[in-house]
Chains A and B, each alone.
Chain A
Amino acid sequence: SQQGEEDPQALSIQEGENATMNCSYKTSINNLQWYRQNSGRGLVHLILIRSNEREKHSGRLRVTLDTSKKSSSLLITASRAADTASYFCATDGMDSSYKLIFGSGTRLLVRP
């Protein structure tokens, strides 16, 4: 399977703490995207980072990409209870098909 792996599978933190999730993938990519999913609902797009970028910020989110290690991390700073959700990374390969391959996901619980 080409599906990526994410770790940890589950993460429980206190409100106000930072949360870090990691994603590894197997093939060369064009882009890597992070999504949030609340309680089995639709996916919310958080951030896209291109293969020639190393770091990107959006509000309380910071994403890094290391193409040599085929890995990415998502950092959520000053977490809030509303950040409780599942987080997925997704990559699209260099075959021009634009289809996404998803990681296994991290379930984040932010305790108030």
Chain B
Amino acid sequence: SAVISQKPSRDICQRGTSLTIQCQVDSQVTMMFWYRQQPGQSLTLIATANQGSEATYESGFVIDKFPISRPNLTFSTLTVSNMSPEDSSIYLCSVDWAGPGHGTQYFGPGTRLTVL
């Protein structure tokens, strides 16, 4: 299985600021995904991050609010911009292990964000 790390593990931020979350994988993967989990809720996909192309965003999520970078096959960042208390969530990255179509996705430990 993949070993995935995220930084920071948690943060408390002020309204109007931005936070960049990093996701690092121990081996090269084709597809990386970013999810949001609001308090007490299930996970919702924000976007798919592919190396060499722009991220693909899900309905309700826009690049200006959640810019994503994918500079190589082991790393991605998600920025939460101009934060408000409604952005308080756990943000998780995942990877499609063993390549597209295999199916198994592994998740990082998550970043717990609190916006005051």
Chain A contact residue count (CB 8 A cutoff) = 26
Is A27 on the interface with B (CB-CB < 8 A)? no
Nearest CB on A from B96, distance (A): 5
Chain B residues whose C-beta falls within 8 Å of the C-beta of A42 in the assembled complex: 92, 107-110
From DSSP, what is the main secondary structure of chain B's interface residues?
A: strand
Partner of B1, one of A45, A100, A105: A45
A50 and B42 form a contact (CB under 8 A)? no
Closest 6 CB pairs of A and B: A42-B109, A31-B103, A43-B107, A102-B43, A102-B42, A42-B110
Q: Counting CB contacts under 8 A, is B105 at the interface? A: yes
In addition to A40-B37, A48-B104, A50-B103, 18 A-B residue pairs with Cβ atoms within 8 Å of each other are A33-B103, A35-B107, A42-B92, A42-B108, A45-B104, A45-B105, A45-B106, A45-B107, A88-B42, A90-B43, A90-B105, A92-B103, A97-B56, A98-B48, A98-B96, A100-B105, A101-B45, A102-B44
Looking at chain B, what size class is its interface with the partner chain?
20 to 34
Question: Can you list, as one digit per residue, whether each of A89-110 has a CB less than 8 Å from chain B (1) or not (0)?
Answer: 0101000111111111100000
Contact A3 B103 (CB under 8 A): no
Interface pair B42/A103, CB less than 8 Å apart: yes
Chain A hits for B104, CB < 8 A: 33, 45, 48
User: Closest CB of chain A to B4's CB: distance in Å?
Assistant: 8
- B42–A104 CB distance below 8 A: yes
Q: Which residues of A contact B58 (CB under 8 A)?
A: 99
Measured CA separation A48–B1 after assembly (Å): 13
B101 at the interface (CB under 8 A from A): yes
**How far is A98 from B106 in the complex, measured between Cα atoms in Å?**
13
**B112 CB contacts on chain A under 8 angstroms:** 40
Nearest CB of A to B19, in Å: 18
* Residues of A contacting B75 in the complex (Cβ-Cβ under 8 angstroms): none
- CB-CB contacts below 8 Å: B49-97 with A: 56, 58, 90, 92, 94, 96
Q: Is A30 an interface residue (CB 8 A)?
A: yes
Q: Which residues of A in the span 70-98 have a Cβ within 8 Å of any Cβ on B?
A: 88, 90, 92, 96-98
